[in-house]
Each structure stands twice: as C-alpha cells, then as structure tokens.
Amino acid sequence: QRRGLRLSTPAAIQVTVRDALNQALDEELERDERVFLLGEEVAQYDGAYKISRGLWKKYGDKRVIDTPISEMGFAGIAVGAAMVWLRPVCEFMTFNFSMQAIDQVINSAAKTCYMSAGSIAVPIVFRGPNGASAGVAAQHSQCFAAWYGHCPGLKVVSPWSAEDAKGLLKASIRDDNPVVVLESELLYGVPFEMSEQAQSKEFVIPIGKAKIERQGTHVTLVAHSRPVGHCIEAATVLSKEGVECEVINLRTIRPMDIETVEASVVKTNHLVTVEGGWPQFGVGAEICARIMEGPAFNYLDAPAVRVTGADVPMPYAKILEDNCIPQVKDIVFAVKKALNI
C-alpha cells in the first residue's frame, strides 16, 4: 500500500484445461532441470492436443523429446530415467495406448519401490487423455481409472477443472512415486475460472484430497473428471425441484479420499456415484463398498446408486455413443431413485 491506496492484484481469470496443463508443464520444466517430457508428437508438432505448445522451442531437444510410435519402448526409457532420479513426464496420445506399455507401468514403475524395500524411487508421470472423446469408437474411448486405481504402487489423479489440471499435474511431477494423470480430451478446450492463488508458480493441489464443488443437504453426488460437470448441471436442475445435491469432485482415484465422501453421506443420508467407465469393478463400486464397510453406512436411508458408462465397448455411431455415456438426465433419474421421489 502507498498513501492509503491499495495496489491492484491479479484477479481470477478464465483458463482452458489445455492452457492450465501447458502452464504446469512449463513451470515445472523451468523449476527443475531433471524434468523432461517425452511422447509422440510432443515436440515439433506441439503435441497432438497442443498441450505442449511452445515447450520444444523454449527448452530444446533434450527436455522435450519426440518418440517413435512405440509405447513400450519410450515408457521403458522413461521408467529407466526415473530410476536414476530424472523426472520424466511420459505422454500417451490416449490412455488406450498405454496398454502397449502396461508391463512398464505396472511391473517396472509401480512395483519397484516396494520390491527394492524403498531404495529405488520411480518419480515418473504418465499422462494423456482418458475415457470417451467424440466419435472415436472402442479403441480410443476406454476409461482406465479403475484399472490403474487397482494397482498398489501407483498414485492416480483425474482432474476436472483448469485448477485441478494445473495443481494436480504439478503435484504429480514433484511426487517421488509413479503417478498416472487421467485427463479428458473433451475438457481440453473448456474454460474455467482460475483463482489468483492458482496462477502462482507454486500452486499445487495435494494428491489424495477431494473437493466439495457444491454444498447440499439431500444427496451426495461423487464423480471425477468430466462427469463432475454433469453432476453440477444435474444439481442445478434438481434444485428447482427442491432437491439440494452435494457434489464432490473426487480429484484423486488412488489414494481415495473416502473421509470426505463419508462426511457428506453422514450429512445427506444418500449417495449416488457417477463415472464414465464400466460398472463392474469400477470406481463407483469401490466407493460404495468403502461406504458399506465404514461408519457412514449407518447413516444411509437408501441403497447407494451407481451411474456408469454402459457395459459394452464404445460404439462409433453418435446416438449409440450418447446412450453409452452418463448424461445429466441419467443423474437426475438416479437421484430421484435414491430419494424415492
């Protein structure tokens, strides 16, 4: 302050998820010379989804590396680099293609710290688009949250907003464990408000902590990634009918912040989980089981309800695709079912 006048400070701004991820990578590449990015088209082409736009020109060939179309090969190179305390960020053009590198992700990255009695850390990030996009059929539309969330040794995050994307990616790069960052291609171009705090180069979001996006009293909605937005839309619709939904953005799949979910269920007495993945052994199934086994079960007034993707490989035709992905109307129906209205 000077002469009683308050100096202006940056206010909240609109930032797309794409730009938030780009900021996170830029800031971490600048902060730590051990960080490097590798993957298909990440350098000279600026990334298949332009997440790495401008980074190759700024940091050069040694820090932003184009790879051949060989996920097993470049994921293995990245894991080896992490074992000698570099901090690779390994981009998969889609997480469906991470199946080509599953041996490296699980057997090499996830298990090494435990099997070496803690003497070998593997500080690596595997990131890229996960789940359904639009019109890309079964081989490009699968959600791997349940797959990777199943595996001890990995941390798994699933951002929704621009702040989620920036804060969780930065935290993942700084973490000494292998972290899987599951992004949504359909969110890349979506703008979100980014607070003044989130614009800081030191802004990180703790891995393993959920966020309550909307307060409510009648039912708890829990989701991650793009379905968080659907839940907020459904909550807006239901509020006009006198139903107040509490919306929880899970943010992290593993370790799961079940305490935040339990506290909400104790308050609302009802639970609906929402995810784009398949129902069997899914994220929602795990949440329901944890609530069943814990103290919040005694507060439930009705069975928990899951809203999931259809239990089929993703069809190509748009009308079929729309019917395979949870929509706002499906969430509204599930809430009314849980509340018996």
Strands 125-129 and 87-91: parallel
**27, 40, 91, 140: which one is catalytic?**
140
Task: Single out the residue of 158, 323, 169, 173 nearest to residue 253, CA to CA.
Answer: 158
**27, 28, 40, 71: which one is catalytic?**
71
Bridge partners of 248?
212, 222
In 175-295, where does DSSP find H-type helix?
227-239, 258-268, 283-293
Tally the C-alpha atoms within 13 A of residue 260's C-alpha that lie toward its C-beta.
20
Name the one residue in this structure whose structure tokens are 């949870």.
326
270 noted as active-site residue: no
71 noted as active-site residue: yes
CA 273 distance to own-chain centroid:
16
Question: In this structure, what token pair is assigned to residue 210?
Answer: 């959920």
Instruction: For the chain, list the strands marked E by DSSP.
Output: 13-16, 35-39, 64-66, 87-91, 125-129, 155-157, 179-183, 191-194, 211-214, 219-223, 245-249, 252-254, 271-274, 305-307
Name the one residue in this structure whose structure tokens are 């953005």.
249
SS3 185: helix
Name the one residue in this structure whose structure tokens are 């500080």.
123
Q: Active-site residue numbers?
A: 71, 140
